[in-house]
């Protein structure tokens, strides 16, 4: 922006400002809706109240949904990272027969609309006789999330000189020692970023959970259920809490990632 005239600079700033407002006003609206005393959202708000937050806090249904969502996210993130780590090495690091096919096939789940993918998985689980539950949701979300995490880690794997592993091998290191002292530390930041992505994508995912969770209810599912029947301002309250939790996970994660990068 160094060589812009003052007028152009001001125009550009206001343009960015308008975009930001348009993008984030809906979230502010959600926040406003959650503190409205009346049951239905009417603007401007006449009376404010924190009672919906109190009810949210004490609702067992909502507590359950949070626990379910967190369990799903934690399982998805852990398993995805392990699978994706080795997948990324196969994707980026080693030459093997079928590698390019693997690289292409890996991306297919990402291109499926999630509703279609969810339906397909539901039919598939049904025909395999697997019960719909949050555990089934873990598998369903992994179909979509593992490829994404693999790509994130693969970027890191592409970024380092493969000769360092050979050099370690040449200096007498065993396979395990190379993995522990070279490969893992060098891929560390990518692995962590992948983990973070997996948690956030799972935390906010609705369509795959909707088709596969059966009687278990994740937070996005609870939100959806209340939207189509039985709306109260607890919906925006839960929505806002969900966003804030996601934000906290992201902020803490970025902080840790920054520390990992600096250590290198």
Partner 1 sequence: MASAPPILQLKDVKKSFGSLNAVDGVTLDIVEGELFTIVGPSGSGKTTLIRMLVGMDKPTSGDILLRGKRINDVPANQRPTCMVFQSLALFPHMTVGENVEYSAKCKGIPKKQRKEIGTRYLKLAHMPQSYYDKPVKKCSGGERQRVALARALAFEPEILFFDEPLSAIDYRLRKTLEKELKDIQRETGKTFVYITHSLEEAMVMSDRIGVMRDGKLAQIGSPSTIYTKPQDRFVTEFMGEVNTIPVSLADDGRLVSAELSASFTPPDALPGGFTSGVLIVRPEDMSFVNSANSANGAPENQVEGELFNEYLLGSRIQYQVRSAEMTFLIEELRADAVTRALGDKVTLTWRASDSMVFAE
Site residues for partner 1 per CB under 8 A: 160-161, 163-164, 166-174, 177, 181-182, 185-186, 263-264
Q: Which is nearer to partner 1, 114 or 156 (CB)?
A: 156
Shortest distance in whole angstroms from residue 194 CB to partner 1: 18
Rounded least distance, CB 188 to partner 1, Å = 8
Q: Rounding to the nearest 10 degrees, give the CA dihedral for residues 93, 99, 105, 107.
A: 20
CA gap 11, 13 in Å, rounded: 5
Using the minimum distance from each CB to partner 1, give the nearer residue, 27 or 167.
167
Query: 23: how many CB neighbours lie within 10 A of its CB?
Result: 9
Give which of 73, 70, 80, 117 is closest to 211, Cα–Cα.
Answer: 117
Alpha helices in 35-129 (DSSP H): 51-58, 60-92, 99-111, 114-128
* C-alpha span between 81 and 76 (Å, rounded): 8
Would you call 21 helix, strand, or coil by DSSP?
Answer: helix
Tokens of 177: 């020692």
Minimum distance of partner 1 from residue 183's CB (angstroms): 11
CB of 165 to partner 1, least distance (A): 8
Burial class (CB within 10 angstroms; exposed 0-12, middle 13-18, buried 19+) of 89 = middle
The least CB distance from residue 184 to partner 1, in Å, is 10
CA–chain centroid gap for 87, Å, is 19
Nearer to partner 1 by Cβ, of 126 and 181: the residue is 181
Closer of 192 and 211 to partner 1 (Cβ)? 192
Rounded to a whole number of angstroms, the minimum distance from the CB of residue 168 to partner 1 is 7
Nearer to partner 1, 101 or 161 (CB): 161
The residue among 96 and 161 lying less far from partner 1, judged by its C-beta, is 161
φ, ψ dihedrals at 214, nearest 5°: 60, -125
Q: Shortest approach of partner 1 to residue 159 CB, angstroms?
A: 10
Residue with Cβ nearer partner 1 (104 or 264)? 264
Q: In this structure, how many other beta carbons lie within 10 angstroms of the beta carbon of residue 55?
A: 14
């Amino acid at each position: 922006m160094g060589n812009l005239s003052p007028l152009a600079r001001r125009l550009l700033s206001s343009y960015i400002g308008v975009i930001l407002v348009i993008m984030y006003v809906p979230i502010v609206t959600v926040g406003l809706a959650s503190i409205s005393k009346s049951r239905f959202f009417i603007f401007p708000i006449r009376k404010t109240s924190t009672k919906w937050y109190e009810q949210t806090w004490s609702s067992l249904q909502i507590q359950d949904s949070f626990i379910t969502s967190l369990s799903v996210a934690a399982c998805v993130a852990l398993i995805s990272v392990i699978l994706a780590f080795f997948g990324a090495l196969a994707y980026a690091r080693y030459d093997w027969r079928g590698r390019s096919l693997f690289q292409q096939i890996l991306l297919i789940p990402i291109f499926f609309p999630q509703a279609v993918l969810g339906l397909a998985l539901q039919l598939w689980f049904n025909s395999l006789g697997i019960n719909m539950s949050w555990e089934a949701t873990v598998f369903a979300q992994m179909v979509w999330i593992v490829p994404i995490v693999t790509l994130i880690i693969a970027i890191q794997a592409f970024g380092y000189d493969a000769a360092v592993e050979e050099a370690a091998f040449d200096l007498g290191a065993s396979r395990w020692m190379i993995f522990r002292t070279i490969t893992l530390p060098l891929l560390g930041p990518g692995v962590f970023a992948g983990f973070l992505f997996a948690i956030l994508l799972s935390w906010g995912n609705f369509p795959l959970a909707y088709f596969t969770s059966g009687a278990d209810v994740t937070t996005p599912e609870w939100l959806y259920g209340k939207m189509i029947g039985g709306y109260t301002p607890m919906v925006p309250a839960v929505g806002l809490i969900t966003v804030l939790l996601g934000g906290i996970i992201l902020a803490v994660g970025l902080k840790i990632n920054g520390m990992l990068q600096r250590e290198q």
